[in-house]
Structure 1
């Protein structure tokens, strides 16, 4: 995504355009691997922008608050980030290596927000679904290890 498009997205969300916000949003937009903050920082540094760990967290949180990014919190793992936000998608995660992929909602746009049962008066605004399994690389590694025994 070019810089002008990233700047437009920031302005449209009501955020000031800063070099760090542009660099982080661009890194997240170009990523398909749901990077951790340390990986975001590496990518931002590679683009020529200097940024501390705290600044990276602050920018990621500002992007999340403006609905330009999403934080993915998996049990026992550091938070991961992505620019795909607000479109009702889920995640597929490898139990072994942590590889994470987006999965479109099987039920469509908003049905995930209509549970079969919920307490009266409870207003749902977000649903997180995580599919767990083993990626093809980890499956192959497991088969190699089993055959070596």
Structure 2
């Protein structure tokens, strides 16, 4: 699991982004911020539903959409399978998807070197690498 800010800090990030805090939104943001598996909305729902049986799938889907629209999480569309989510509250990084095992890895990358032309306003940068991870590469030898 990744390190993440405490609930008070996450609550402040929600309010600073203009999002009305709710227990579900806070828990979703906390889960994504601490998760290193880049979960789908269905995976978030399945995990959270275990401890909160009254939580609806619609609440999770609407919440991840709202959090992504407000820049608190990043929607990752590396493969056509489904959208995955990652926290923007952690150190900026790129992603690597293994073509063999389909895992997504965080890759350190100095994102400050990436720029866009002066006339463009950029609010999100996604850098993806695709190939074979070290573990799958060892199995192929």
* TM, length-normalised to structure 1: 0.76
| Pair 1:65 & 2:74 matched | no
Deviation at 1:96, TM superposition (A): 1.4
What is the RMSD computed on CA atoms of the aligned residues? 2.4
Query: Unmatched 5+ residue regions in structure 1?
Result: 144-149
Name the CA distance, whole Å, in 2 between partners of 1:101 and 1:111: 21
Q: CA deviation at 1:29?
A: 0.8
* 2:126 counterpart (106, 117, 128): 128
Q: Name the residue aligned to 2:112.
A: 110
Q: CA deviation at 1:122?
A: 5.3
After TM superposition, the runs of 4+ consecutive aligned structure 1 residues lying more than 4 A away are 85-88
Higher radius of gyration, 1 or 2 = 1
Distance apart, 1:49 and its partner CA: 6.1
What is the match of residue 147 of structure 1?
none
Q: Partner of 1:24 in structure 2?
A: 28
Q: State the SS of the aligned residue for 1:110.
A: helix
Q: Report the Cα offset of residue 132 of structure 1.
A: 1.1
**What are the Cα deviations for residues 17-64 of structure 1, in whole angstroms up to 9, with x where unaligned?**
112101110110110111111111122224436422222111001101
Aligned residue-pair number: 136
Shift of 1:76: 2.2
